[in-house]
Structure 1
């Protein structure tokens, strides 16, 4: 009669597998239906999604942002673990939107608004007319931006640079009159110590003003499942250190 025991065990294992599959399907369904900004407060959804998110990040994101999510300032790839959010405020829904549609990726729902003009060129900006700056004006704006970091700078050059920043340079149009940027369009805060390109030196600031910057991030709506997209957004959200980021 031992075979009856084996049959009972097999039936029990099969039932457990079916129950596990039904449970996983139920959790996956809840993950997809949930308000993205509430997912992080649900321990069951977090536990389900984190492994998938880590695996998806490794395959789709680590090539640029690195395995530790710390980015690469040489090519303008942002650090995803610091306190600064270039686009948005760090909400999971905003991260998910970037994973879905990208930045300057060609998708109409992506962030495609702001690019840094190359002010040393005869035609600094492709989208609309912006006057170029003279070499001395580029130098003065560089000095002004350095002064925002409390760097010792010649006061006359700072004042000239501030005038260019607020008037003919049109820098204020994206970065704001207070130079604190605008996360709604991806314009960085120039008053903090977080730098997307370079290390905040005079050389790297001058290069950004003279030659422009316009990094991109691909959209993944056509290459990842919606479960993978939400999971990787949750994974990135879990690695942030705070700052502008906030939970509901």
Structure 2
């Protein structure tokens, strides 16, 4: 069994504490006035980076994308790891064309969110995992909405 260093243990404790505080704080919860408002689009890619251009799958609707943005920032607790603007924190950046697992296609994103990311698949320095559905109590339909939102961030 590997020894956990104090530095790594400290990082894990800090990450866990931040995740709990963010998840329980209600930050990111939307008011009724925000319902139906379009999600803010992340900044354009830096020069020299080619943006991914792909035709939106027919199964992704504008309503799904809007719902997915709200779930991402609220009940889905996605922002706790991927950042409020989805550019990454403990979890990877979701706004660029680089996918650490899979190809970034819609159905693959749905499957990845449903199944999570195991320690063996994790590519970040802390080895942080993503539990199924990100650890949130969301439905499969809500997972599809979040995947639709994430797909639009990088395509």
TM > 0.5: no
| TM bucket, shorter chain | 0.3 to 0.5
TM-score when scaled to structure 1? 0.28
TM-score when scaled to structure 2? 0.42
- Structure number with higher helix proportion: 1
Larger radius of gyration: 1
